[in-house]
Structure 1
Amino acid sequence: MVDWDLAGRTARRLMSSGPRTTREDAAAVVRHLHEAAATAIAHVEKLTGMTAAPGGPLPEVAVVDRPGWVDANASGMAALLDPLVSKLAEKQETRPGPLATAIGSRATGVQAGGILAFLSSRVLGQYEVFGTGGRLLLVAPNIVATEEKLGVDPTDFRLWVCLHEVTHQLQFTAVPWLRGHLESEIAEFVAATDLSADVLRERLQDLLRSLGEAIRGDDGESEGLMALIRDPRQRAVLDRVTAVMSLVEGHAEYVMDGVGPDVVPTVTTLRKRFAQRRKGRGPLDRVLRRLLGLEQKMKQYADGRRFVGGVVDLVGMEGFNRVWESPQNLPRIEELTQPELWVHRVHGRPAIPA
């Protein structure tokens, strides 16, 4: 249903080039990022009190360019989306012929390539949970372009970014059940999927109206493509997944600031300037953010950061780390903005500041 090879080729044609650099400078950036990622591990472990599960494989750190990031994410998107698309196809009363299938897969491949091209110049790093899995990706040209645009110290910025990504790496290596839990939630989401062509068309029209508002500069919240999903069972799964992703993103945000100026001397400046970067200003940027639901992503960062900070204030870091003991201890969607509810549920007592 999606030609992922075509998606990758399309993304490479559409993506913008990175900052100009010499071969020697590029090699120095790659070396520096590997060093920053290695340095970040000890700081993250010290602040969080977490360590990778003993005996597990050592996570790989890959410093990639934009095409490398596209290749990794085309694989990851295929792993996530292909089961959902296949299930939708099975529910159709009539099946398209081979020609229609070929044309449709190429059309969706081009669309997916456009999304990957847009994101390829914005993502600084990520931990691959799905797809090939187990790698920490650092997108060198985007990190260099961002530090130049923000006018910040490269050494501090690169370590700051690595603190965030290494925290994600530690979450999924120190908590072995976390990946399996997300996979089971996605499987449940797929099992609950039941959209007819007419219903899908109606919801796409609602999404297009939302995109029109974005073009006019309206800053209302939108779930983007996720707004197409309104089945109560799917919504329940999405709430649980949103709570988990808010937790892991907020935890990483807490850590990258929590190490303090002793580790990253310009951390206050970095946070202030980086917060401005996350606000898309141009019409095209606003439309694509609305389509992809990136506004909701920013809300995840904010809610998750407040949850982690709130729980740590109430029960300390050791008390917070009970969140990783089992899926039952993961926060519920309503607890993200009321961390005292989580403390009362998990610790079995009213929340009193630590």
Structure 2
Amino acid sequence: MIDWDLAVALGSRLAGEGPVVSRAEAEEAVAELRAGAHRSTGLVREFTGLDAPEGTAPILVVDRPGWVQANAEGFAVATRPMIEKLVASKQPKGLGLKVGAKVTGAEVGGLLGFLAGKVLGQFDPFHEPHGRLLLVAPNIVHVERELEVDPHDFRLWVCLHEETHRVQFTAVPWMREHLFSEIRAISDTVEPASFLEGGLERITEAIKAGRNGASIVEMFSTPEQREVIDRVTGMMSLLEGHADVVMDDVGPTVIPSVAQIRKKFTKRRQGVGTLDRILRRLLGLEAKMAQYRDGAHFVRSVVDKVGMEEFNAVWAGPENLPSKAELSDPDGWVRRVLG
């Protein structure tokens, strides 16, 4: 139902190659990012108390096409339960299926191509057996030049954030399977016969109601799916906010210019132009920016109140994750979980 080869080819072409660098500069950046990620493991462990087993979840430094390929593979895994359900129901059929695969492949490729020039790094939880960390070297070099910050400081700062995600998923083994179970829960709510019709109808209703600022995900989701999305939002906000707290609180001890980097980077997160802002809103990236903010506020509030050791109860099991509502009510989470 999705032509993944087309998606990768189109996404790689749209992504471009990134900034012009010499071979020596490229090799230096790749080596420094690998070293920064490995160095960050101990820094994250010392600050958070989370201990990730050795030899899990490899660290890969990639270019933009490499990021596109990796995420196409991840999307294929994430969408498999829903696609299997649609295929089993024979929706769509025959030629419609072939045409649909090309259309959706082109759409996914366009999405990946847009994002490939913006993502600095990410943890890919879908790669077997334990996930993998991706650092996108050309984007990191591009942003450090754009912000005019110290490249060595900026690279370590990015590594601190992304390595925190690798530690989260490998030190908390149930996290990965919990994410998969939530994805399956969304697919379980899909009714194949009315999936496309219902999605288009919800988009029309959203526009009529003046909610044209909603993301594509919000427009296509049903009330049942939004319940799951809210749970995932709580979890992802925790993970992103936790990583932001680590990078900013550990940063001053090892990154001299961290305050300058944070100030410039926060401004950059707001988007650089009208088209960029529209795309960010449609793709739900504005919501992701809120995840950093809300998640960091939650983590800081709880840690300030009870300390890091007590805060780490959040990693004990899925039932201890904050709900979307608790992100803005840290005291409520403390009462529910810590009594």
TM over 0.5: yes
Q: Which residue of 1 aligns with 2:65?
A: 67
Q: Aligned-pair distance for 1:115?
A: 0.4
Residues in 2 aligned to 1:281 and 1:47: alpha-carbon distance in whole angstroms: 34
CA–CA separation in structure 1 for the residues paired with 2:319 and 2:269: 32
- The aligned counterpart of 1:352 is none
CA RMSD of aligned residues (A): 2.0
Q: Tell me which protein shows more helix as a share of its residues.
A: 2
Letter in 1 for 2:119: V
* CA–CA distance in structure 1, aligned partners of residues 127 and 206 of structure 2: 28
Tell me what 2:39 maps to. Answer: 39
TM-score norm. by structure 2 comes to: 0.94
3-state SS in 2 of match to 1:261: helix
Please give the alpha-carbon distance, in whole angstroms, between the structure 1 residues aligned to 2:81 and 2:104. 15
CA deviations 1:116-137 (Å, max 9, x no partner) are 0000000000111014452111
Q: In structure 2, what residue type is equivalent to 1:201? A: L
Cα separation, partners in 2 of 1:275 and 1:185, compared to 1, 3 Å: same
CA separation of 1:173 and 1:161: change in aligned 2, threshold 3 A: same
Confirm or deny: 8 A CA contact 1:304 1:336 kept in the other structure: yes
Which residue is equivalent to 1:171? 168
For 1:42, give the aligned amino acid: G
Quote how far apart the aligned CAs of 1:223 are: 3.3
The answer for the alignment partner of 1:180 in structure 2 is: 177
* SS at structure 1 position matched to 2:167: helix
**Mapped partners of 2:133, 2:96: distance in 1:** 38
Select 1:100's aligned residue among 96, 99, 106. 96
Shift of the alpha carbon at 1:265? 1.0
Tell me by how many angstroms 1:210 deviates. 9.7
Deviation at 1:193, TM superposition (A): 1.9
Is contact 1:163-1:256 (8 Å) kept?
yes
Per-residue CA deviations over 1:55-109 (Å, capped at 9, x if unaligned) read x6433111100000000000001111132133245457xx444222111101110
Q: 3-state SS of the aligned residue for 1:137?
A: strand
The answer to whether structure 1 residue 141 and structure 2 residue 133 are counterparts is no
Within 5 Å, give how 1:1-354 maps onto structure 2.
1-53=1-53, 57-91=55-89, 95-132=91-128, 134-194=131-191, 196=194, 197-206=196-205, 222-231=214-223, 233-348=224-339
SS in structure 2 of the partner of residue 126 of structure 1: strand
Report SS of the residue matched to 2:60: strand
Please say if residues 326 and 332 of structure 2, whose CA atoms lie closer than 8 Å, have aligned partners that are also in contact: yes
Greater alpha carbon shift after TM alignment, 106-115 vs 285-294: 285-294
**Does the CA-based 8 Å contact 2:216-2:283 persist in structure 1?**
yes
- Evaluate the alpha carbon distance shift between residue 210 and residue 268 of structure 1 in structure 2; reply closer, same or farther with a 3 A threshold: farther
| Rounded Cα–Cα distance in structure 2 between residues aligned with 1:207 and 1:291 | 12
Count of matched residue pairs: 336
CA distance in 2, matches of 1:335, 1:255: 21
SS at match of 1:17: coil
Instruction: Measure, in 2, the Cα distance between the counterparts of 1:168 and 1:154.
Output: 22
CA apart distance, 1:208: 6.5
Structure 2 residue runs without a partner (length 5+): none
Unaligned runs of 5+ in 1: 214-219, 349-354
Query: 2:317 and 2:160 mapped to 1: Cα distance?
Result: 24
Change (3 A) 1:209 1:300: farther
d(CA) in 1 for partners of 2:70 and 2:256? 33
How much identity, in percent, do the aligned residues show? Answer: 50
Residues in 1 aligned to 2:210 and 2:24: alpha-carbon distance in whole angstroms:
43
State the one-letter code of the partner of 1:111.
E
Question: In the aligned structure 2, how far is the partner of 1:249 from the partner of 1:96?
Answer: 37
Distance 1:120 1:246, change over 3 A: same
Q: Please give the alpha-carbon distance, in whole angstroms, between the structure 1 residues aligned to 2:205 and 2:301.
A: 36
* Distance 1:156-1:173 versus aligned 2 partners, 3 A rule: same
Question: How far 1:4 moved relative to its partner?
Answer: 0.7
Separation in 2, partners of 1:171, 1:103 = 40
